[in-house]
Amino acid sequence: MNTIRRIALGTAAAAMVLTGGIPATAFAQSAPTAQESLVDLANPLMGTDSSYRLSYGNTYPAVAVPFGMNSWTPVTGEPGSGWGYTYDGEKINGIKQTHQPSPWMNDYAAFALFAETGPLKIREDERASWFSHKAEEARPYSYKVYLADYDVTAEVTPTERAAQFRFTFPKSDDAHIILDALDGGSMVKVDAKNRRITGYVRNNHGGVPDNFHNYFVAEFDRDFTVTRTWDENWQLSADTTREAGHVGAVVSFRTAPGEQVHVKVASSFISPEQALLNLKREIGSDSFDTTKAKAKAAWETEFARIRVNDPNEDNRRTFYSALYRMLQFPREFFEKDASGTIVHYSPYDGKVHEGYLYTDNGFWDTWRAVFPFFALMYPERDSQIMQGLVNTYKEGGWLPEWASPGYRDVMIGSNSANLIADAYVNGVRGFDAEALYEAMIKNATTSEGRPKDKKGRVVGAVGREGVEYYNRLGYVPYDVGINENAARTLEYATADFSISQMAKALGKTADAEKFAKQAQNFRKLYDPESGWIRGRNQDGSWETPFNPYKWGDAFTEGNAVHYSWAIMQDVQGLIDLMGGRQKFVDRLDSVFTTPPVFDDSYYGQVIHEIREMQIVNMGQYAHGNQPIQHMIYLYDWAGAPWKAQYHVRDVMKKLYSSAPDGYPGDEDNGQTSAWYVFSALGFYPVTPAVGEYAIGSPLFRQVTLAMPNGKTLTIEAENNGPENVYIQSVTLDGQPYGKTYLTHAALSQGGTLKFVMGPTPNKAWGNAPADAPFSMSAAK
């Protein structure tokens, strides 16, 4: 099926799912009602029309509660593939418990349930049933699908560490429910007396110690007529226990027409006993519908913090779909023991400890907007995450940069510093700030002692690769065998700024000065001849030949045109290097007007990030990947905020929707969603650890935010509409406001932020140098 047709079908089918069979376009201009379910505006299928070659999100429909330890998702793809659910899949072979943060990271601790009638089929490809999106209902809190080959309807609804399944069968003497413990080391045990299947799975793709297990219990509401298990050779027997590389269990029933079989499932990373405790505590005697109502209420509580009032339902659907995705990661990796104490199994030392732990997050992505959102709207949750980082440091010796569930050697930088400092500077407390500061300094000053596997290979993206060069030269050289060296230099410099801000807040003056100085290291790689950031050799000479459109090499999933804007801590300093405000604006403009030419020789293929830039007709602007997502807002620093307003609205309009093709690239742990959520509100966090948000162009006529301190912030946009994207004036609590940024402190106090919008730019608003957001070179 060609791409154009896939997109069209994806959009229409998703709309049908979300509106009970009535096209969403019929409601596109309807106003919200007082009884409106906000969570039912969210479409879990947003972003699922993706592949290895082209990403429109690379998501899966995650059935979960906010930040839940487990999610559940149907499997339409090849078992074991990171693309477990793809929208163009035609068959489903299971509904699995998943912890996958990204297809590129793949899954861990997964097992699946499935239902059949007739002759038993256990292999994934053989048992898979045809299904249709027309007979599929995907909600954040539940999933329902018709398995056409077996005339069975399968449903699942979650809690934090458990779930309920409901299988509706036809009349059958051979009705089966399969529990597939999947490949990677597993065990199953059938306990017919107690109507249970118990066991464990060990599948993973790294980031775990040798004793890693996910223990599960599945409890049925009726007796079994036949029980069987299979071994890794797919051989069935009546044995009640199997343990091998890939095992599973089948329990069978006789069913009447429309008869339902319920299964309560829970898991634990600690022990089988803890899994059963999680089941009893989180589900107990609750019915399927009760669990579903509780899961829905959990989402409604979170969504009600941000109430959007606008006639454009398509935009509201996209907003809440993005918000749903934001509130999944990082996921809880802690449990409550029999006494109610918070405990966690540590993927860092393999032991059980008291305290919080969160996982499944890549800070290279999420420090930019996800964690600033938490600091603004979820400080208590952010505090728990910070407590978890303290525990990670104590148990593993390093801060994580990519955890899934433990250290993974993915991406670059020491970006944990950004989210920690941002949290602390913005008032998040309740964690050991001194311990995290110590960890930040260790990350920033050494690459020795990093976690290694039994063969001596580094397994965790922690510390700073090339830090010895960076500390001596002020940059990571191009010619010393360290890839993505220019990107590393820029990211280290941004992290150094965050460390300086944290040091300042903790009263560590000498450190604050040292790291503030290092935050200027971006200057070492600015090439005045080309006007771009450029790789530099150890002797000070420039990387030659130089092609600003070459992806990779000195950069990470981008090129010089993208990374030259990654100077969040000192935009004014970059303006000065580029020759002043007008030349800076002209250079920003050129990103959109330069054809999307590229050099992919470093990769030897067109990676999906390149293709996503090429095909959207936005020149060199590559919104599908994180390094450039903030770039549009840099117009605010250069006296042309109206250009930021135009481009922000243009990106929201062209690149986002709630459909299966609704993202412009990878939706990485909420970051691409967070860009939309913040931008739709009208502002975005560019610089970490300063408590400021650059103003863009609000999407909605009115948004009401319930701030965590109990105050209410109302954002109004008079005359707002698809054509009226330009700010004419702004008032904050009735007073004229001419700055191109808002402060964390002001937003937290609530009140009314009012924009007046129009179809043409007001070029006088916010254009003075004093109106610009924070820069190190223009500190207020």
What confidence tens digit (pLDDT) does each residue in 693-715 have?
999 999 999 999 999 999 999 99
Distance CA 254, CA 269 (A): 34
Burial (CB count within 10 angstroms: exposed 0-12, middle 13-18, buried 19+), residue 186:
buried
Q: Are residues 287 and 314 part of one domain?
A: no
Token pair belonging to 615: 């095909």
The pLDDT score that the predictor gives to residue 450 is 75
The pLDDT score that the predictor gives to residue 3 is 32
User: pLDDT grade, residue 21 (50/70/90)?
Assistant: very low
Q: Which pLDDT tens digit goes with each residue over 271-297? A: 999 999 999 999 999 999 999 999 999
Domain membership flag for residue 13: no
Does the pLDDT value for residue 96 go beyond 80? yes
User: What is the CATH classification number for the domain harbouring 211?
Assistant: 2.70.98.10
Q: Return the biggest CA–CA distance within the chain.
A: 80
User: pLDDT grade, residue 77 (50/70/90)?
Assistant: confident
User: What is the CATH classification number for the domain harbouring 658?
Assistant: 1.20.1610.10
Domain membership flag for residue 141: yes
CB 180 within 8 A of CB 160: no
The pLDDT score that the predictor gives to residue 779 is 65
Distance CA 86, CA 194 (A): 37
Tokens 């918000």, residue? 323
Q: Are residues 293 and 388 part of one domain?
A: no
Does the pLDDT value for residue 2 go beyond 50? no
Mean pLDDT of 217-230: 97
Q: Taking the alpha carbons of 763, 764, 765, 770 in that order, is the dihedral positive or negative?
A: positive
Domain boundary among 238, 271, 303: 303
Q: Are residues 244 and 277 part of one domain?
A: yes
Mean pLDDT of 3-12: 32
Q: Which pLDDT tens digit goes with each residue over 300-319? A: 999 999 999 999 999 999 99
Q: Are residues 639 and 602 part of one domain?
A: yes
Q: Are residues 486 and 575 part of one domain?
A: yes
Q: Which pLDDT tens digit goes with each residue over 480-530? A: 999 999 999 999 999 999 999 999 999 999 999 999 999 999 999 999 999
Three-state DSSP at 105 gives: coil
Domain membership flag for residue 750: no
The pLDDT score that the predictor gives to residue 446 is 86
Q: Are residues 119 and 139 part of one domain?
A: yes
pLDDT cut 70: percent of the chain above it: 95
Domain membership flag for residue 739: no
Q: Are residues 630 and 599 part of one domain?
A: yes
Burial (CB count within 10 angstroms: exposed 0-12, middle 13-18, buried 19+), residue 300:
middle
Name the residue type at position 535.
G
Q: Are residues 67 and 87 part of one domain?
A: yes
Domain membership flag for residue 729: no
Mean pLDDT of 151-169: 98
Q: Are residues 500 and 357 part of one domain?
A: yes
Q: Are residues 311 and 287 part of one domain?
A: no
Token pair belonging to 161: 């560490």
The pLDDT score that the predictor gives to residue 245 is 97
The pLDDT score that the predictor gives to residue 23 is 35
Q: CA 265, 268, 269: angle at the middle one, nearest 5?
A: 150
In this structure, what are the phi and psi dihedrals at residue 388, rounded to the nearest 5 degrees?
Answer: -65, -35
The pLDDT score that the predictor gives to residue 17 is 38
Q: 729 Cβ partners below 8 Å, 6+ apart?
A: 736, 755, 756, 762, 765
User: pLDDT grade, residue 29 (50/70/90)?
Assistant: very low
Mean pLDDT of 364-393: 98
Distance CA 168, CA 606 (A): 46
Q: Which pLDDT tens digit goes with each residue over 611-668? A: 999 999 999 999 999 999 999 999 999 999 999 999 999 999 999 999 999 999 999 9
User: pLDDT grade, residue 15 (50/70/90)?
Assistant: very low
Domain boundary among 270, 303, 336: 303
Distance CA 443, CA 605 (A): 33
Domain membership flag for residue 372: yes
The pLDDT score that the predictor gives to residue 34 is 53
Domain boundary among 669, 695, 721: 695
pLDDT cut 90: percent of the chain above it: 92
Domain membership flag for residue 50: no
CB 58 within 8 A of CB 322: no
Question: Helices 671-681 and 641-655, interaxial angle, to 10°?
Answer: 130
Q: Are residues 253 and 239 part of one domain?
A: yes
The pLDDT score that the predictor gives to residue 1 is 35
Q: Which pLDDT tens digit goes with each residue over 718-764? A: 999 999 999 999 999 999 999 999 999 999 999 999 999 999 999 99
Domain membership flag for residue 704: no
Q: Which pLDDT tens digit goes with each residue over 441-465? A: 999 998 877 777 777 777 778 889 9
In this structure, what are the phi and psi dihedrals at residue 583, rounded to the nearest 5 degrees?
Answer: -65, -35
Q: Are residues 209 and 349 part of one domain?
A: no
Q: To the nearest whole number, what is the mean pLDDT of the chain?
A: 94
Upstream peptide bond of 170 is cis (omega within 30 degrees of 0) = no
How far is Cα of residue 656 from the mean position of the Cα atoms in its chain?
16
Which DSSP string do the residues of 326-385 spell out, in sequence order?
Answer: HTT-SEE--EE-TT--EEEE-TTTS-EEES--EE-EEHHHHTTTHHHHHHHH-HHHHHHH
Mean pLDDT of 203-217: 97
**CA nearest to 83, candidates 56, 62, 64, 59:** 59
Mean pLDDT of 392-417: 96
Task: Specify the number of domains making up the chain.
Answer: 2
The pLDDT score that the predictor gives to residue 452 is 76
Q: 5 Cβ partners below 8 Å, 6+ apart?
A: none
Does the pLDDT value for residue 18 go beyond 70? no
Domain that holds residue 449: 306-695
Mean pLDDT of 596-605: 97
Number of H helices, E strands in the chain: 20, 34
Tokens 């006639």, residue? 311
